[in-house]
């Protein structure tokens, strides 16, 4: 009976295109594997520098400090205690480990730099090719023009302020209005698709010695090879921050409908708002 | 790098506690009624199972030969794409003297552990041998003095370790192509194998490069670092510099260069020490 009731009061409408949905779920897996295999690679030398060079004899802006009982993450001069999580943690057998990122955060779970690099490069190829395909498809299916394009009204400070206020007061658009991206959504998706992910690929390539020889300006664009490595790490964490906000927004705005939309492509909205 | 060989227990049931904490947050955030929460709990349980399964699944995939073979396809793609799309003879960036790192780190073998090496070190490596043989027309049996008397080349380049660190050094040595002109490679020669005087964890170190890198204008057999004879930690008295690849390719303590047609029959068969013992990529241009 409930089904019948739903049929009369709600209607199913198109939400996300096929290219968007395929790319979304490809990314969900790819970015997670890249992050976790990236942690394995970071564990080989858990220090970050600015400039062309950086090694154990040069100052690092980010480093992991460990003693026999404690550990901390040092960012410039600020020491953040990290005992139990980063730099000093216990594995399942109860043994203390001093690797930076713990086993549950890395692929593979035990330290294996060669394997971490193999996972990382394989999924880096998937990321690069799928990003390129998504951009091309989104150009032709008008996803960029219709959904992501920041229109004049999206840029108005009044509109942006109102959208921020709506987010802060947890009032999300319902029905038909929820089908279009607001200015903050557009900005964050544009930021991920056209800025953060291309920068991840570019900073990754900037660490390659052969790419350095072939395109010498690439590492210089980021301030040198070690700076490129630092940016690679910083932007990765910006993407983690995006993911956390993304999850929060999905949970607050109706996770079942959102999951349905990004998987099947359709959502159900109240009938009156569809008219 | 030394840590690669540390044995680690496989943990197959990790990450559960953090996942379940996330699950509780999920419930609290739910604005819906009781019936929905039970459904959520069900979903949570499923998510928890998937998360735990995902993590242990990654380790299972990692240990699967066929899956690793697929992953290594990306390394072949790196090699093929870099070789076909980028300039193979492109020069690595060179730096001014002011950019030279105050300390050039030593990695891998810090000092070869053999009486023969110690005796050479005592007399500043006088008479250190360099043999060039294998698939060549005129095998050579040189000494360090003869190598140092050859036309030298100096370059200030950045050394990138696979671990992630970099250092800039000023290297002086003889171009490998100069040596190859003298020995005349046979047509079937495809690779050069660099045999080293050091053993790492009891296994002889070696590396190999193909003829494209062998003829690269910056590929040298270096005998000086920062205008001083090579320090022992950096490969005294002779080391390879192959500037468009990562550090583990730059064989130290070189005593013999062998031209071969294939790498399969050399040591472990994968073309290098780290390639054999820890599955590092043979091509280290990225």
Tell me, yes or no, if B50 comes closer than 8 A to chain A by beta carbon: no
Q: Do B281 and A117 touch (CB under 8 A)?
A: yes
Give residue A182's pLDDT.
92
Please say whether the beta carbons of A220 and A228 come within 8 A. Answer: no
| Per-residue pLDDT at B25 exceeds 60 | no
What count of other Cβ atoms lies within 10 Å of the Cβ of residue B153? 17
Burial of B67 (0-12, 13-18, 19+ CB in 10 A): middle
Please say whether the beta carbons of A106 and A98 come within 8 A. Answer: no
Q: Do A107 and B10 touch (CB under 8 A)?
A: no
CA distance A118 to B75: 7
Give residue A170's pLDDT.
86
Give residue A273's pLDDT.
59
pLDDT in tens, A79-89: 999 999 999 99
User: In this structure, is the dihedral angle defined by the CA atoms of residues A155, A157, A158 and A160, taken in order, positive or negative?
Assistant: positive
Nearest-by-CA chain B residue for A98: B3
Measure Cα distances from B114 to B64, B109, B199, B267 in Å.
38, 12, 9, 20
Containing B11, the helix (H) or strand (E) segment is none
Point out the residue among A107, A125, A208 whose CB comes nearest to the CB of B74. A125
Smallest Cα distance from B4 to chain A, Å: 6
- The pair phi, psi for residue B131, each rounded to 5°, is -100, 135
Stretch among A129-138, A165-174, A211-220 having the lowest mean pLDDT: A165-174
Q: Which residues pair with B61 in a beta bridge?
A: none
Between B229 and A168, residue with greater pLDDT: B229
Tell me, yes or no, if B228 comes closer than 8 A to chain A by beta carbon: no
Q: Which residues pair with B141 in a beta bridge?
A: B131
Q: Which two tokens stand for residue A53?
A: 């060079």
CA distance A210 to A253: 47
Point out the residue among B87, B167, B246 whose CB comes nearest to the CB of A53. B167
Nearest-by-CA chain A residue for B59: A108
Give the mean pLDDT of B25-44: 49
| Per-residue pLDDT at B208 exceeds 80 | yes
Q: Which residues pair with B159 in a beta bridge?
A: B167
Give residue B47's pLDDT.
66
Tell me, yes or no, if B115 comes closer than 8 A to chain A by beta carbon: no
Stretch among A11-15, A96-100, B247-251 having the lowest mean pLDDT: A11-15
Nearest-by-CA chain A residue for B51: A104
User: Would you place residue B38 in the very low, low, confident or very high pLDDT band (cuts 50, 70, 90)?
Assistant: low
Measure Cα distances from B240 to A38, B129, B211, B224 in Å.
29, 15, 14, 11
* Chain A residues within 8 A of B243 when measuring between CB atoms: 209, 213
Q: Do A229 and B86 touch (CB under 8 A)?
A: no
Q: Do A112 and B278 touch (CB under 8 A)?
A: yes
Q: What is the residue-averaged pLDDT of chain B?
A: 87
| Per-residue pLDDT at B29 exceeds 80 | no
CA distance A25 to B146: 62
Give residue B215's pLDDT.
98
Query: For chain B, how long is the longest CA-to-CA vector?
Result: 86
Q: What is the SS3 assignment for B61?
A: helix
Give residue B5's pLDDT.
34
pLDDT in tens, A151-191: 999 999 999 999 999 998 888 888 888 889 999 999 999 99
Q: In this prediction, what percent of chain A has a pLDDT beyond 70?
A: 96
Give residue A32's pLDDT.
97
Give residue A67's pLDDT.
86
Point out the residue among B8, B14, B280 whose CB comes nearest to the CB of A114. B280
pTM of the entire predicted model? 0.88
Give residue B37's pLDDT.
54
Give the mean pLDDT of B149-169: 98
Q: What is the residue-averaged pLDDT of chain A?
A: 93
* Chain A residues within 8 A of B99 when measuring between CB atoms: 52-53
Q: What is the SS3 assignment for B65?
A: helix
Give residue A176's pLDDT.
81
Give the mean pLDDT of A39-44: 98
Give residue B30's pLDDT.
36
Give residue B84's pLDDT.
95
Give residue A175's pLDDT.
80
User: Would you place residue A7 in the very low, low, confident or very high pLDDT band (cuts 50, 70, 90)?
Assistant: low
Q: What is the SS3 assignment for B282?
A: coil
List of residues 6+ apart from A166 with CB closer than 8 A = A172, A173, A182
Give residue A51's pLDDT.
98
Give the mean pLDDT of B150-157: 98
Give residue B50's pLDDT.
66
Give the mean pLDDT of B210-238: 98
| Per-residue pLDDT at A77 exceeds 80 | yes
Q: Which two tokens stand for residue A134?
A: 């998504």
Give residue A129's pLDDT.
98
CA distance A60 to A71: 16
User: Would you place residue B57 in the very low, low, confident or very high pLDDT band (cuts 50, 70, 90)?
Assistant: confident
Q: Can you spell out the DSSP letters for chain A?
A: -HHHHHHHHEEEEE-S-HHHHHHHHHHHHHHHHHHHHHHHHHHHS-EE-SSS-B-TTS--SEEEEE-SS-EEEEETTEEEE-TTTSSSEE-TTS-EE--SS-GGGSSSSS--HHHHHHHHHHHHHHHHHHHHHHHHHHHHTTHIIIII---HHHH-HHHHHHHHHHHHTT----GGGGGS--HHHHHHHHIIIIIIHHHHHHHHHTT-HHHHHH-THHHHHTTSHHHHHHHHHHHHHHHHHHHHHHHHHHHHT-HHHHHHHHHHSEEEEEHHHH-
| Per-residue pLDDT at A118 exceeds 70 | yes
| Angle value at C-alpha A137, between A134 and A141, nearest 5 degrees | 135
3-state percent breakdown (helix, strand, coil) of chain B, nearest 5: 40, 25, 40
Structure-token match 């997670």, residue found: A32
Give the mean pLDDT of A129-144: 96
* Chain A residues within 8 A of B274 when measuring between CB atoms: 114
Q: Which two tokens stand for residue B171?
A: 């290297």
Nearest-by-CA chain B residue for A99: B3
Point out the residue among B73, B93, B164 whose CB comes nearest to the CB of A216. B93
Q: Which residues pair with B129 in a beta bridge?
A: B143
Q: Do B11 and A119 touch (CB under 8 A)?
A: no
| Per-residue pLDDT at B28 exceeds 50 | no
| Per-residue pLDDT at B1 exceeds 90 | no
ipTM attached to this prediction: 0.91
User: Would you place residue A213 in the very low, low, confident or very high pLDDT band (cuts 50, 70, 90)?
Assistant: very high
| Per-residue pLDDT at B42 exceeds 70 | no
Residue B244 half-sphere exposure toward CB, CA atoms < 13 A: 29
Give residue B233's pLDDT.
97
User: Would you place residue B40 in the very low, low, confident or very high pLDDT band (cuts 50, 70, 90)?
Assistant: low
pLDDT in tens, B81-106: 999 999 999 999 999 999 999 999 99
Point out the residue among B3, B102, B279 whose CB comes nearest to the CB of A57. B102
């Amino acid at each position: 009976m409930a089904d019948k009731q739903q049929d009369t009061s709600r209607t199913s409408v198109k939400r996300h295109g096929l290219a968007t949905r395929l790319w979304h779920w490809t990314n969900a897996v790819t970015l997670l594997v890249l992050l976790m295999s990236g942690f394995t690679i970071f564990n080989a030398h858990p220090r970050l520098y600015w400039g062309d060079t950086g090694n154990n004899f040069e100052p690092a802006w980010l480093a992991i400090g460990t003693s026999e009982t404690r550990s901390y993450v040092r960012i410039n001069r600020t020491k953040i205690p990290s005992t139990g999580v980063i730099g000093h943690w216990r594995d399942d057998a109860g043994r203390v480990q001093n690797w930076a990122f713990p086993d549950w955060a890395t692929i593979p779970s035990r330290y294996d730099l060669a394997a971490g690099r193999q996972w990382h490069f394989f999924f880096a190829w998937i990321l690069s090719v799928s990003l390129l395909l998504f951009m091309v498809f989104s150009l032709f299916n008008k996803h960029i023009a219709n959904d992501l394009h920041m229109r004049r009204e999206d840029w108005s400070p009044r509109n942006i302020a109102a959208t921020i206020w709506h987010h802060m007061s947890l009032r999300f658009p319902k029905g038909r209005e929820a089908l279009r991206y607001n200015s903050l959504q557009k900005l964050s998706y544009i930021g991920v698709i056209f800025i953060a992910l291309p920068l991840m690929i570019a900073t990754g390539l900037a660490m390659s010695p052969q790419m350095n020889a072939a395109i010498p300006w690439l590492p210089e664009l980021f301030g040198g090879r070690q700076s490129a490595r630092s940016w690679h790490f910083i932007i990765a964490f910006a993407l983690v921050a995006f993911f956390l906000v993304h999850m929060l927004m999905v949970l607050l705005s109706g996770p079942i409908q959102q999951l349905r939309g990004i998987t099947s492509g359709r959502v159900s909205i109240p009938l009156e708002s569809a008219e | 790098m030394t840590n690669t060989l540390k044995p680690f227990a496989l943990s197959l049931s990790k990450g559960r506690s953090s996942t379940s904490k996330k699950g509780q947050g999920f419930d609290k955030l739910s604005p819906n009624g009781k019936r929905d929460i039970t459904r959520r709990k069900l979903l949570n349980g499923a998510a928890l199972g998937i998360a735990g399964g995902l993590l242990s699944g990654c380790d299972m995939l990692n240990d699967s030969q066929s899956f690793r073979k697929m992953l290594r396809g990306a390394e072949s793609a790196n090699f093929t794409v870099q070789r076909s799309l980028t300039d193979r003879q492109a020069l690595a960036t060179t730096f001014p003297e002011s950019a030279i790192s105050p300390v050039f780190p030593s990695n891998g073998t810090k000092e070869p552990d053999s009486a023969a090496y110690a005796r050479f070190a005592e007399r500043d490596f006088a008479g250190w041998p360099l043999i060039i043989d294998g698939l060549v027309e005129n095998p050579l049996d040189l000494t360090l003095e003869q190598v140092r008397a050859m036309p030298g080349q100096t370059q200030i380049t950045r050394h990138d370790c696979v671990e992630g660190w970099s250092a800039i050094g000023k290297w002086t040595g003889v171009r490998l192509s100069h040596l190859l002109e003298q020995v005349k490679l046979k047509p079937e020669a495809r690779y050069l194998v660099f045999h080293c005087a050091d053993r790492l964890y009891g296994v002889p170190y070696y590396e190999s490069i193909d003829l494209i890198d062998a003829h690269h204008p910056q590929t040298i057999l270096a005998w000086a670092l920062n205008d001083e004879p090579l320090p022992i930690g950096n490969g005294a008295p002779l080391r390879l510099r192959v500037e468009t690849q990562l550090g583990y390719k730059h064989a130290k303590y070189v005593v013999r260069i062998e031209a071969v047609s294939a790498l399969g029959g050399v040591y472990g068969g994968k073309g290098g020490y780290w390639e054999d013992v820890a599955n590092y990529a043979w091509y280290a241009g990225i």
